[in-house]
Amino acid sequence: MGTDLTYTISYGKLQVPFYRVYARPLAGIAPIPESAFTGRENTLFAMEVDVEVFGQRFLPAYTAGDNTLVVATDSMKNWILQQALAYDGATLEGFLDLVARQLLSGYAHMEALRVTGRELPFAAVPVPGSGPGVFGASDVLFSHARDDYATAALDYARADDGGVTLTGHRCARVGLQLLKVTGSSFTRFVRDEHTTLPERADRPLSIALDVSWRYAHPAADLLGPDVARYVATEQVRDLCQVVFHEFVSESIQHLVHEMGQRILARFPQLVEVAFVGQNRTPDPVAISPTDARIRVYSHPFPAFGLITLTLTRQE
pLDDT digits (tens, 9 = 90+) for 175-194: 999 999 888 766 666 677 66
Q: What is the pLDDT of residues 146-161, one digit of tens each?
A: 899 999 999 999 988 8
CA distance 39 to 234: 9
Query: Average of pLDDT values for 232-250?
Result: 94
Domain check: are 65 and 211 in the same one?
Answer: no
Q: Is the pTM above the cut of 0.85?
A: yes
CA distance 101 to 90: 17
Contact 39/98 with Cβ under 8 angstroms? no
| Neighbour count for residue 162 (Cβ, 10 Å) | 9
The three-state secondary structure class of 81 is: helix
Burial of 9 (0-12, 13-18, 19+ CB in 10 A): middle
- In angstroms, the Cα distances linking 240 to 9, 10, 51, 266, 308 are 38, 36, 30, 12, 15
Extended beta strands in the chain, E state: 10-21, 44-54, 112-119, 122-128, 135-144, 149-158, 164-186, 200-215, 270-279, 283-287, 295-298, 305-312
* Structural domain harbouring 166: 10-170
Among residues 38, 43, 73, 165, which one is catalytic?
Answer: 73
CA distance 81 to 79: 6
Domain check: are 130 and 57 in the same one?
Answer: yes
Checking if the pLDDT of 1 tops 50, the result is no
Higher pLDDT, 199 or 205: 205
Domain check: are 177 and 303 in the same one?
Answer: yes
Which domain-ending residue is among 146, 170, 194?
170
Domain check: are 129 and 165 in the same one?
Answer: yes
| 73 has catalytic annotation | yes
**Nearest 5°: phi and psi at 92?**
-60, -45
161 CB-near residues (< 8 Å, 6+ apart)? none
| 13 has catalytic annotation | yes
Among residues 8, 13, 68, 281, which one is catalytic?
Answer: 13
Contact 111/157 with Cβ under 8 angstroms? yes
Domain check: are 136 and 56 in the same one?
Answer: yes
Domain check: are 14 and 77 in the same one?
Answer: yes
Domain harbouring 228, CATH code = 3.10.270.10
Contact 262/237 with Cβ under 8 angstroms? no
